[in-house]
Structure 1
């Protein structure tokens, strides 16, 4: 062996020790001068070799050295392949945050150096000052000189502190000393000893001694508190209140009844199966006071799961509020029935059961998911529970005047905090119903109504609240746990007067074991330090203390540990082990969580070491789901994984191998079978059938080889592939528009997520592909590939296409025309006219602002903005008046500066944003786009884009975001952006529109609108809170509402059944609301339409959007399906005549003009489904940052937008006409109508 191999082997051991990975990959340079001819040349010959070493199996150092020697020799023999070529061949996933293939470099510098004699001069090597750059995360270089080894380490200072590197060097040196003394030493024994400074810090961080009266249980503390504050409110539930004295009385009554039926020889389990009510609280404390251990059961669980828990726990008693529950039919023990207040109404003694009780002193038994396919019971003692409650009383703390809103299901152990902590302190528990706790909007309403001072929930629940429009509550203590808390959510939850606490702990260590107050959302989120009488060790694979900063298994000891698993001694012995650090006979619970100590003494979680996961706060063993799958007849094997579809949206995916592959998998039957034994949160969202499970060479499941989850396959049951060229072409266009990889010929466009906007895009593409004038109605009549293909083949289709034929002017670039002013488009003409009526009105300023956390480089941003201005003529366009007509003046060059401003606080940012948004544009001067960056910290920015509506629309903003990000990332990487040339510019479109929409075509479409809107009521007399002003001032506000995921899904299903779109369903219901409020059956509303019916226009920034007037006839009190059919007919006809600008319709109808209201309609309705656009800036996290608007173009505008968890509605209204309460009431009524129609 060579010295290089010895040093590299030791370095591999060091990397394995500090990364926790036995597979080490290190780069090393090699001279690349294998030929003697090049030895004397000056040139770049050096290459990089990648040394991959398996350190697993705890080899001796001599054995590891043999492995390194073999790998090195093989690498040297194949050294001529350039590293760049290797990367090109392997194609690793690229990440700008680190180098490909390896991130650590190791080198032995032994290049010959010989000083040439210079007369009168002594030459010797000198030290080189370290630079301020690092090519890799870590570069480890050993240098031979005069028989000595010198070590230099170059490191990325964004990742490591100097003290960490010094520690690494010290450990490496100790390894080399040990290797020299004993080459046969086991590698697992190398680098074990921690520095005394680390040992001292770890001891300090685990100094959590807390004194309290250990002889008093939690239930005794609750009863004692009732004696101190008998009249204080203990429980609130749906308007009903119960004092502490009344609660104590109920607890005593419940305990007396239970003592009469409990066997007296040992501690028995009393199961609790009640809905969320005061009875739930009384049952919990009553069972413990009677000497039983309570077992919480969720009424939402499948009957089979409840029956298993009752049987496995050996429950002698079941407390319930409904004796007729299906899950209780097989229960043979004693049944205690209670009312909502917790009073016992009846006792049905069962047959004597031969049950095995639990250990004396057990407070409760709670079941968690089990890897064997069956849930396992965890036994928590009164001592552990009391220690936890006392610790929580001190930190985060609770006071007698506090009000805690309880939202967690009783079967989730953190519910114990919600019920017990307030009642031991004289505070109040407010109980949210199961329905309210699961509905973001309802929960937000309850918070506003009951004004809690404390609330505990999982990040998923907090995110659900925020997505429902909850604005937060000042002075609230927010406890967040059960899942990782990310920075974005932390920032949303934080406010100057709130306390945000991040909590962590497994069920086996009594609810929470650590906690941390989060001061801001910009620093790394940790789980803090141990609570009272709790110690935490981070141990390596040999159960030794890991160095500070090094990942290992998080193990918990102290007074919070469970007694073990109920009737599972083998599993208890596996997970609860003797503490190898304390040497006092104490126990540790091995959590299976991977974590590390940070140098500030807080704990950072790094994921799981096994296959246990957390989903929406619930701990799930994926093995349990796999066992449930393979228990279903017809399933031979199964693998279950989690997939994060989008941030915050994680779902379960099941890969199954059917016993009869040709027959496939009946996913509907499979889900029904699983629901019999698994709760809904454990039922896979997607099932993928496979011929076999991929395996690694050692026979384990190769999860990396599983196919990527295809969420687009949902709804693709009965897939039939295209059968000819026409179907293939149409299917390709379906897939292109819907963003799906494959479309069956019988798949419905609308069931696959299509809507009216996408329908317009699809029809435009089919027109281009087939040179046929396909009417939009054809897609609604035949929304499948097969149906449209047949339509395209038929003679009728040809005849219809001829009947609807229009002058087919070619849309092409007209470069020469830029030397002169170009006529504005029709919509630009109208907006120019409005601007002349009210100069400086900011109501048509389009504003988009994004929070950018991380690195935002100004120079690439300025280059990107300049590139976009040159790419899109609209960004270099002003609108000038020439002889009373609006004209586009396009400049060859236009500079749009990026304005950088430093802002001190969030409030100041809001104020400045509002001012930027209100600043008017001069249409004749320009530029008509502005870019601002508001800096609130070194790595915190708000990027603001403001553009006048006359040169852009909502679709344009998505294009702008996508291309701005593309250009920024390219310039940041030192290259110019690459994008396909634009087929046309907006000015080309304006010229084309005026040529195409003229003469017969204009008259044909105007004829439709004359007939459709003739005789329509020009006003919609909604009841207002104030008289209408003579002139609109466009002062506005907005109200937000939320439609649950369940209701949204039902609305989409209704649209599918009726062969309409979701927009049509929502509009029909809104028409009904307006008819009810206005008292008239003739209702006209406006709705925007993208106006990009040609594929050439999809990538342009410009003002294309048009407004359609949809008139609804509600005469004769139609059923909703009849009204929906009318709305569908009207909408399809409107889409077929959408090219006439709204301004032309107004000119044609000549309504009586009134400066106090908009002509033709006063209410706007919209479902946002244009492309969202993504501002993905490398080196930064980007999220939306709302801009408060106080303008309103119409009396009322309703905008709905789709998300993964439901529909969100925003009601923008004229504050000169309406109060907030009036609009909120209208929104509530609209939601009621939608709920009724499904």
Structure 2
């Protein structure tokens, strides 16, 4: 007997489903363990479990013997579980039709159930809400869903159902057999038999690990047990974990307690090492090297001056210079004097440097003579700053900076004749060791403070994890403004090893990096994925006998996620050099977990885990109410233990938000008496895996990491909106491949006249200039796109998935002009190689084509080599089009030619390039 609907019924059902399903459909699935194959041809696996007799009887009693009531109780509990697993209050699942109707389309055998799980509701209220939703769905079950999918423009895929991933049925009232023909991921079927309830979970084996499905079934039973006899329990108070399950997460997954010298300071430990290995080489930079004793002597002399000038225990002292041996001497001298160092990157925009100098309230600044002129425009308003010490050269007479500001300027003569003996220690393990400024959502960076004991715990934990000895040679490659740089500078010095400092150009150019690793006999190198990719691509093209790195033991990949395919490619070439996937925030002394990969991972594995907690740290995966989440469920990665820092400098609001009292103190790592037991909330999303490792899942907010630098997208958006012609702005991260992240900005003009007055290219250039004045190079978007309005989802939020994809390939050749001169051809060839483009025009913008700060470094290095002229890195940021860049290089060549003429009166011919 067929069911016939009149036109009014069809229209009514159509309107119902449009209201239920229009807009962005929620993602309701377990987190996948493996990459979803394009076509699924594998078998389904099955897991059966029984609800306990008491629990079954309680459900039957609550349902008063009605199978339908039992069904909506079982569905309600599943929706609560899925809310935890999806971090989304909107949940959508498939439910089979309730009555027999004769329809041809298989999609009509199962209909979507869209509900909202609101944590403040009681379980009882939620039951009735689900009941009403099921009844409404069944009242509208006759509509043709193929037609609805077309109407709503819901994309179809051969590897999953277009609307729901999970189907739930009760075999007592539903026909299970047609469900096998659906393209969904998981089917859960319940059965009531003789007063007991059993369940069967069918799942695709190529998507899920067996263990995670078992955990899901266990937590589902926990939810039912928690609230079935206490129906007035709020959803937010439902117990997901039993005591033994909490013990596993809190104790078994966090069971690494080690004894390290965290009651000492870094300077104490260094001085102890000096006494043990005085003649070992401690640090190397280019052609210069110092033994432990020489390094200690020079640090003592500078520390003596700092102490004489008034540096006191816990004072912040700025370092404003490039990384070299003097930078390391400065760090050690500041520690010996009792202070903590604040690195201020000289490549940052002037207003950012000025803010950091002013906000940090440093009274003393260590720098280079060559940067004094730069500082002249930056120290105004820094009322606390009293003394500047040049480390590399003697200051001649009175500098304009000193006359202009009244600052006292000191030089090498003021400290190189002082005593080189160790001075009396005044600092303690609980004192700050350094303060690093991280990106801030309000447009202003935050100063994160880390103590000596936290930094020491990290270093010694890594000594254990990587089995490091006196043979340890570490490549110091990271910018001084990153937490990565801290232990690169200091770790070798506490064990008798070598710190090998190289400039950013060496690191950014694969050939130079490879030569440095080989010639300096590096045992540990730490790279962000973008640099790791470059090195891998270079070495993979070398003959087997030339690519050997016999001294390298560990390749650490940090800063942002690395793909499984890259890790496997490395291990194919270097099976003896293990990959270390490390993870950690600046606020908790760098790495807090790491995962060592010593053999290729399964190709279909979705991610490389970030591993288990390092020694003396506790990791938690928590929900928004600071409740422990079950294994497999995504939540915020939080950390407690000795590595947690002292919060943010002069920012109590942010500190109170991110550093909170640890509610799990009974199982946390023991801390010194003078330390509060705090949890740092990283803002990162992760989940426990069944084996106790953690999987990183991205940012909860819109903060990301680009090439190792933490970037707050809101900070970039704030500055974009400061332009008078911009009404709204949004910045996202796009990936052309998993290891190549790029920032893309979208801006909406403020008024119609702004649209008319400013062409797209003119506005983009103005915005790029604005950002260059305020932000470091790694925070400049690779593309800035003008749009008429930001796309919104039905809820009114910005629909980031609907933003147009930028055309990095620059395929529109309306304005294409080919290179006209030999110089333009040389630059174009270099860009083509670095940006991996087919062709480059003279008006193409390096950054619009996908360039970023690391690629800019590579480009500048090749330009210097090609033109035999010193091209500053900032040149490319100031002249980003090919034509502008060539014009700048030609001016540099002209100046260089005139200088040569003035030196000997002879006009030197240009040997290689004729402009």
- In the alignment, structure 1 residue 78 sits paired with structure 2 residue 140: yes
* Distance change >3 Å, CA 282–CA 1043, structure 1 → 2: farther
Q: Separation in 2 of the partners of 1:94 and 1:45?
A: 12
Contact 2:340 2:435 in 1 (8 A): yes
Decide which of 700, 705, 714 is 1:609's aligned counterpart: 700
* Distance change >3 Å, CA 23–CA 111, structure 1 → 2: closer
Aligned to 1:675: 772
- In the alignment, structure 1 residue 430 sits paired with structure 2 residue 507: no
SS in 2 for 1:14: helix
Aligned to 1:26: 93
Q: By how many angstroms is 1:634 displaced?
A: 2.2
Q: Separation in 2 of the partners of 1:378 and 1:1235?
A: 49
Contact 1:277 1:340 in 2 (8 A): no
The 5 Å alignment of 1:59-138 reads: 59-111=121-173, 136-138=184-186
Q: By how many angstroms is 1:82 displaced?
A: 3.7
* Distance change >3 Å, CA 246–CA 193, structure 1 → 2: same
Q: Separation in 2 of the partners of 1:158 and 1:267?
A: 55
Decide which of 300, 304, 319 is 2:366's aligned counterpart: 319
632-641 or 293-302: which moved more?
632-641
The 5 Å alignment of 1:448-527 reads: 448-469=518-539, 471=547, 473-476=549-552, 477-494=554-571, 495-523=574-602, 524=605, 525-527=608-610
Q: By how many angstroms is 1:282 displaced?
A: 0.5
The 5 Å alignment of 1:836-1235 reads: 1045=831, 1056=842
Show CA shifts across 1:442-474 (max 9, x none). 222322332312211111111122234464623
Q: Separation in 1 of the partners of 2:322 and 2:108?
A: 72
Aligned to 1:12: 79
Q: Separation in 2 of the partners of 1:483 and 1:311?
A: 30
Q: By how many angstroms is 1:78 displaced?
A: 2.0
Contact 2:817 2:843 in 1 (8 A): no
Contact 1:482 1:618 in 2 (8 A): yes
Q: Separation in 2 of the partners of 1:54 and 1:78?
A: 19
Q: Separation in 2 of the partners of 1:464 and 1:600?
A: 32
SS in 1 for 2:475: strand
Aligned to 1:651: 742
Contact 1:32 1:47 in 2 (8 A): no
Aligned to 2:293: 245
Q: Separation in 2 of the partners of 1:1057 and 1:530?
A: 50
Q: By how many angstroms is 1:178 displaced?
A: 4.1
Contact 1:671 1:683 in 2 (8 A): yes
Contact 1:475 1:497 in 2 (8 A): no
* Distance change >3 Å, CA 146–CA 86, structure 1 → 2: farther
225-234 or 196-205: which moved more?
196-205
SS in 1 for 2:587: helix
Q: Separation in 1 of the partners of 2:498 and 2:237?
A: 55
Aligned to 2:783: 686
Aligned to 1:190: 238
Aligned to 1:748: 816
Contact 1:280 1:342 in 2 (8 A): no
Decide which of 747, 757, 780 is 1:663's aligned counterpart: 757
Question: Which residues of structure 2 form unaligned runs of 5+?
Answer: 1-67, 409-426, 541-546, 669-675, 845-866, 869-909
Aligned to 1:206: 254
Q: Separation in 2 of the partners of 1:414 and 1:578?
A: 27
SS in 2 for 1:384: helix
- In the alignment, structure 1 residue 307 sits paired with structure 2 residue 354: yes
Aligned to 2:808: 711
Contact 2:439 2:712 in 1 (8 A): yes
Q: Separation in 2 of the partners of 1:54 and 1:44?
A: 26
Q: By how many angstroms is 1:392 displaced?
A: 1.7
Q: By how many angstroms is 1:612 displaced?
A: 0.7
Q: By how many angstroms is 1:694 displaced?
A: 3.5
Show CA shifts across 1:683-714 (max 9, x none). 111111123333445543332332333435x5
Q: By how many angstroms is 1:163 displaced?
A: 4.8
Decide which of 683, 690, 713 is 1:599's aligned counterpart: 690
* Distance change >3 Å, CA 748–CA 213, structure 1 → 2: closer
Q: Separation in 2 of the partners of 1:237 and 1:605?
A: 35
Aligned to 1:278: 325
Aligned to 1:628: 719
Q: By how many angstroms is 1:487 displaced?
A: 1.3
Q: Separation in 1 of the partners of 2:429 and 2:471?
A: 36
Aligned to 1:51: 113
Q: Separation in 2 of the partners of 1:472 and 1:95?
A: 45
Q: By how many angstroms is 1:275 displaced?
A: 1.4
Q: Separation in 2 of the partners of 1:605 and 1:192?
A: 22
Aligned to 1:260: 308
Aligned to 1:528: 611
Q: Separation in 2 of the partners of 1:1235 and 1:2?
A: 86
Q: Separation in 2 of the partners of 1:680 and 1:480?
A: 21
Q: Separation in 2 of the partners of 1:89 and 1:342?
A: 76
Show CA shifts across 1:1015-1049 (max 9, x none). xxxxxxxxxxxxxxxxxxxxxxxxxxx98659867
Q: Separation in 1 of the partners of 2:468 and 2:798?
A: 48
Aligned length: 726
Question: Which residues of structure 1 form unaligned runs of 5+?
Answer: 114-127, 715-737, 753-779, 781-1041, 1059-1118, 1121-1232
Q: Separation in 2 of the partners of 1:1049 and 1:45?
A: 47
SS in 2 for 1:287: helix
* Distance change >3 Å, CA 748–CA 174, structure 1 → 2: closer
Q: By how many angstroms is 1:648 displaced?
A: 2.5
Show CA shifts across 1:380-408 (max 9, x none). 11111121122122221322223222111
Aligned to 1:701: 798
Higher relative contact order (CA 8 A, sep 6+): 2
* Distance change >3 Å, CA 345–CA 140, structure 1 → 2: farther
Q: Separation in 1 of the partners of 2:396 and 2:310?
A: 15
Q: By how many angstroms is 1:188 displaced?
A: 1.8
Q: By how many angstroms is 1:329 displaced?
A: 2.9
TM-score, structure 1 length as denominator? 0.55
Q: Separation in 1 of the partners of 2:398 and 2:524?
A: 36
SS in 1 for 2:440: coil
SS in 1 for 2:318: strand
Contact 2:661 2:679 in 1 (8 A): yes
Contact 1:134 1:155 in 2 (8 A): no
SS in 2 for 1:565: coil
SS in 1 for 2:113: strand
Show CA shifts across 1:917-936 (max 9, x none). xxxxxxxxxxxxxxxxxxxx
* Distance change >3 Å, CA 1049–CA 482, structure 1 → 2: closer
Q: Separation in 2 of the partners of 1:504 and 1:628?
A: 29
Q: Separation in 2 of the partners of 1:562 and 1:213?
A: 17
Q: Separation in 2 of the partners of 1:250 and 1:160?
A: 58
Contact 2:450 2:589 in 1 (8 A): yes
Contact 2:211 2:690 in 1 (8 A): no
* Distance change >3 Å, CA 91–CA 428, structure 1 → 2: same
TM-score, structure 2 length as denominator? 0.73
* Distance change >3 Å, CA 240–CA 1051, structure 1 → 2: farther
SS in 2 for 1:13: helix
SS in 2 for 1:582: coil
- In the alignment, structure 1 residue 336 sits paired with structure 2 residue 388: yes
Q: By how many angstroms is 1:478 displaced?
A: 1.4
SS in 2 for 1:271: strand
Cα-Cα RMSD: 3.7
Contact 1:367 1:378 in 2 (8 A): yes
Q: Separation in 1 of the partners of 2:661 and 2:504?
A: 41
Q: Separation in 2 of the partners of 1:400 and 1:345?
A: 45
